[in-house]
Every structure is written in structure tokens, then in C-alpha cells.
Amino acid sequence: MGAVFAAEQLSLHTMVAVKMIHAEYTGNAEISERFRREAMATAKIDHPNVVRAIDFGPLPGGGAYLVTQLVRGRTLTNTIASGKLPWRKACDIGAQIADALVAAHGAGIIHRDLKPDNILLETREDATVVKVLDFGLARVADSAADMTPLTRLGTVMGTPGYMAPEQAAGEPTDHRTDMYALGVILWESLAGRELWDGGELSDITIRQLTQTPSALAPEIPDLPPELDRLLSQLLAREAAQRPQAARGVRDELRALANRPASALVAPTPSPQPPAPQPQSLAPPNRGLIVFIAVFAAIALLIIALWALEQ
């Protein structure tokens, strides 16, 4: 329905990204309104892990444009295709995504299309900076009264494999829908493959409702138990069983990513002091033995004389 261009902002000589809707789609009121809402949602979130909106408006020949910050980097999809990520790296990326969700949810915005294609990884010196983009399917909780809902109950909007079960079933969604998508992204980053690969939406939804995601501990021997447990919570079928806020998930992932290596190694048992050797008894006191023997003999003699007298 559109295209994205790298462009130069002439007055500041700054490179930006320009996203445009093709003119033939401007007659579709829903598409035009959704694009406008994407611009509004992006502009409402001021966060280092969210692509920043700069400008928005109509094009002279029809259509519309959205100018955003230009991010130079690979998508997370391409990164995962190169192989599974070390769990520390996956935790760092997941923590930054969760931090972006903290800001979005705080602004009343549910992304609803979180997936590796919408995650850009920008390399800066020795760090990787995550940028979340494409709020085209976002739901804004505090929309103005004149904004009519674009998604009717029972309408499925999203990407198969990353939609939570309730989203795939066309049921109401909330911030916990994004928690599920984050769980899928983390699982795929660690495994290096898709979690729910192949098939139609109905097939994927049935598997989500009937199958438990494979545990990764057998594949990743050094996977922390806390991360394995967090994955299970994020991928819970029922929204009520998932983490209820992105903030806690961010903090847990951040702590795991920054955990000192020494804390991950099983402590080496300290050597036990050698067992004390049995001490040989001191040489017996000969005088004491003689005294005891004489005393015993006298006692026996006295007893014998008494017995004879009786």
C-alpha cells in the first residue's frame, strides 16, 4: 500500500525516512485513517527505543506521508536468520523492546503488530540499540471522541504467529497482547527459528490453543531458569496468566542481561579440611596402674575375709 524512502531534510541537511501511501489507496477511508493514526501514535511516544515521528501531511497528488527518524540497521528477522542469539544478547534486546512498551502502554497505545520485522537493531560503538517501528495496527486507548473504532469485534488484524490467541480469535485486546508477542520474539531469538512456523492463520491458532511451546532449556544448557520461567509466562494462552505490566518484564530481562558471569557459575565447593587423625593414646602411667592393681587386690582380700567370716 505504500513505500519508504531515505530522504534529506533540506534546511537541516539531516537524513530521514519518508513513508508514503500510494495515491490509489487514499480513496479507502479506513486505510487513510489508519495511516493518520499511526502518525499520531508514533508522535505520542517520545522514547529512545521507538522510531521518532517528525512530520505528517497530505501529498499534492493524493496520498499522505509520514516522516520519521532514519534508522540504519538490520531487522531482527534478518539477525535471527543468521543464527540463534546468545541468551544475554536476547535478554538485552528484549529488555529494550519491553522498555519501549512501557512508554507506549503508558501513553495508552497497544502496538498489536510486534514482530521481528518491526524491530530494527542499530549498532552504536559496542552497543546494540533497538528501535520499534510501525504502529499501523496500534490501538490508542484515549482516542478522541470523533475517532470511530477501525477494528470491529471478530475482525482479525495482525501477523499470524505473533498474535496472541485472543487477538487471532478476534476478541478484545489489551497490553497483555503485546506481552505475548514479546514472548514469541524472545523465543525465536534464542532458538534461531520461528515458533509457530507455516500454515494458515486457523492452523496456527489451533496450535497455539492446543500445544505448549517447546522448552528451550534442553537446547541451551546455560539458559537461566528465570528466563525459561519468564518465557512460559509470556507465552501463556490466557492473558490473565501473562505478566500484567511491561515494566516488570523489562526489569527482569535487564537484570539477566547485566548479571555478572560469576553469578552464573555454580560455586566450587570449598575444600574440606582433612579429617582429624585419631590421636594415639598417651603412654599409660605405670605407677597409676600399679596403684590401681594393689588397691583392687586389697579390696578383693577384704571381701574374701568378710565372706569367710560370715
Cα separation of 112 and 179, whole Å? 10
SS3 assignment, position 189? helix
Grid cell digits, residue 78: 534478518
Q: Among 46, 55, 99, 113, which one carries the catalytic annotation?
A: 113
Closest CA to 52 of 37, 67, 72: 67
Question: Are 253 and 94 a contacting pair, CB within 8 Å?
Answer: yes
Q: How many CA atoms lie within 13 A of 107 on its CB side?
A: 20
| 126 belongs to the catalytic site | no
DSSP assignment of 8-50 = EETTTTEEEEEEEE-GGGTT-HHHHHHHHHHHHHHHH---TTB
Q: Specify the 3-state DSSP secondary structure of 88.
A: helix
Phi, psi of 13 (to 5 degrees): 55, 45
Where in the sequence numbering do the catalytic residues fall?
113
